[in-house]
Structure formats: C-alpha cells, structure tokens
Chain A
Amino acid sequence: MGGGGGGSGGGGFTLGVRSPGQTFSKCMETHASDYSITGLADLATKGAISSNSTVNFAANVFGGNSLTGTYYAFAGTTQGSAYNAVTTGAGFTGNIIAGGMGSTLTYGRRTSAIMSLNLAGKGGLPQALSSSSAGVKGFFGKMGTGALRLAADVGFTLAEGIGCMIPK
C-alpha cells in the first residue's frame, strides 16, 4: 500500500498524500489503487488482499475504483499499459461490432434483407427501436444499484484529488 489519506509526515497530522516534488497527476496515479473500496479493505486488513493475486483480482473486480481504473487503463502513463489497453480494447470492440452488425437488427423479422432470416408473422420496427425498449429500460433500472457503487468511487476519487492537492 502506498499510504492512504491522512498520513503524518513528521510534522503532525496532514490530509495530504503528495510527496515533495511530485506532480498532481503522478500523485493521482500512484495512489489510485488506495482510494477504492478494495484499497480501504486492504488497509483495514493490513495488506491481506494485495498480498494474494487471486484475492487481489477478485477484490478489484468487486470493489476496485472503476473511475480511476478506466482512466488509467486507457490514459495512464505507466509501462505502456495504456497503449496496450487501447489496442486490445479496439480489437475487442471491433469484433463485437462486427458480430452484432446484421444480426440484432434484422434477425427474426419479415423485413430482413436476407430472406433466409425472415420469419412469418413478425414485422414492424427493428427490435432495437420497438416497444421492447421498455424491457431494456426496466433492465437498466434493475442495474441502477451499480450507479450507487460508482457514486462511492466518485467519493474516493474526490478524496484522492483533495489528498493530492495537499503536499505531505
């Protein structure tokens, strides 16, 4: 652990976590893993989580900071990981889009451009535009608690930002 918020750097209590001479962005990148639910749990358990790779992965899956994680996965500066992530992500997304094209919007309809995919008795607007979007809306409503988790991540990121604004 890289030391959470509220360290005492010799001269008494301070909320600052930025080392002398360290830039704000470098400080944010260094402490990104500490400011999350997992980081907090790791601190509480004296490094029990970060010392085990499987547990570390699972804990970050459920409690990692998605905001800083997303940012530093794609825009980080460390060890060329951002370039790696962008190229892998681009290929992955391309495959998904290629797989999705021509199937989701046309399969199972009378109006499909490919006759062999047409089904008798169904028609109308493409599924993505029809009343089934109400079901999609309901589904995202059920997933809404994910936003609550994201809200916690926003709080952690703000706390990290404040910590990195104040020098140790």
Chain B
Amino acid sequence: MANKPSVADQVFNGLRLATLVVLVCVTGTLFVWGALVVSHEVAGSVMIGWLALAVAFVILLLNLDGWAKILPGLLALAAFNAVLMAVSGHIFNKPSVLVSRGVAFGSAAALALAALISARFHGKRLSILDRIVLVAYVGFILLGLVSQWLLLSFTLGTLVLAVPWIKSQLHGSRPKPHHESGY
C-alpha cells in the first residue's frame, strides 16, 4: 500500500501545481503578445516582442516533457471551447463579438484530432523528432494568430503533430502496450 503523503508534501505539491499553472499562463501570454508585437499587430517595441518570444521559447524548451504531458488535456478542452463558440456563434461571454461557425467547427475538429494524436506523447520518452514537432505545433498556432489563417494553421499543426505517428506506422514499430491484454 502506498504511503499517505504528509501535509508538507501536499502543500509542496499544491504550490508546485499553482506555479506550473502560472508558468503556463505566463508562457502563453508571452507567446501571443510577442508574436503580435513582432508582426506589428499591436503597438510596442519589436525588440521587446522578440525578447518575449525568445523567453517563451526557452521556457517551452526547458519544460517540453511537461508540455507534452499537458498538451492532450489542453487541446481537448480547447476543442470543447471551440464547439461551444461554434454553437453560440460568438466569443465566450461576449455576444457582441461574432465568430464564423465554420471556422469554429473546423478548429474544434482540428483541435480534437490534435488532442487524440498528442495523447501518444503522454508518459513517453520524447525523441528529437517529437520535440521538434511539439515546438513546430506552437509555431503553427502563432503563425495562425499573426496571419489570420487560424483554421489552416490548426490543420497544418495537427498534420505536423501526426508526423512521428505516421513515421512509426511506416516503420512498423508499435508502442509497447501498458498492460496485458487478458487473453
């Protein structure tokens, strides 16, 4: 039987979790703000925009294993949010800002597929190709933000995420099952 974690352990785990959540939020904000500034979508120093992007990429690269672990859940919830916006026809909690239902449903489909594909990164030792693909996926999302071709970038990003899976299928190497089949 596993030992019951002490109160100190629980507090430490809680603080660690809160720090991770804040880190994800800060990294996401740096990515989006940096990309918008660099592409002159919003006012600001281009140099600071590049700096924000660089810092965000360094944080991403240093925490790529954790990023791979949280990606399926984030994408699944993102797909759910996209479906909600497609159904309501407007941005979350802002009925005055309308969204294209086609783009929202398309994004939901691409994100749901990406969530399914990215589940294979969960609990797996990431290869160099996996790491490149995960960073490229973030790059595609940012490209979609600044180019306004969001649906295309979500779709291309999903295809890029599928590259390691396609490669493993072509090479015929299947991942080891986590449990016995029971037969």
A binding-site residues for B, Cβ under 8 Å? 29, 32-33, 36-38, 40-41, 44-45, 48-49, 51-66, 68-70, 72-74, 76, 78-79, 81, 84-85, 88-89, 92, 131, 134, 138-139, 142-150, 152
Contact = CB atoms under 8 A, between A and B. Distances in A.
A76 B21 CA distance: 29
Contact of A61 (B70, B81, B94, B182): B81
Interface stretch (B4-12, B24-32, B54-62): B24-32
Contacts of B181: 131
Looking at chain A's contact residues, the main secondary structure is: helix
Nearest to A78: B95
B92 A69 contact: yes
A56 to B, nearest CB: 6
B: interface residue count bin:
35 or more
A81 B179 CA distance: 47
Contacts of A89: 87
Looking at chain B's contact residues, the main secondary structure is: helix
B149 to A, nearest CB: 9
Interface in B37-58: 37, 41-42
Contacts of B78: 61-62
A60 B85 CA distance: 9
B36 A55 contact: yes
Interface string B74-85: 101110111011
The 7 closest A-B pairs by CB, nearest first: A145-B73, A146-B73, A32-B93, A69-B92, A64-B92, A73-B88, A33-B93
Given A148-B73, A149-B74, A51 B32 contact: no
B78 to A, nearest CB: 5
B89 A84 contact: yes
A63 B25 contact: yes
Contacts of B36: 45, 48, 52, 55
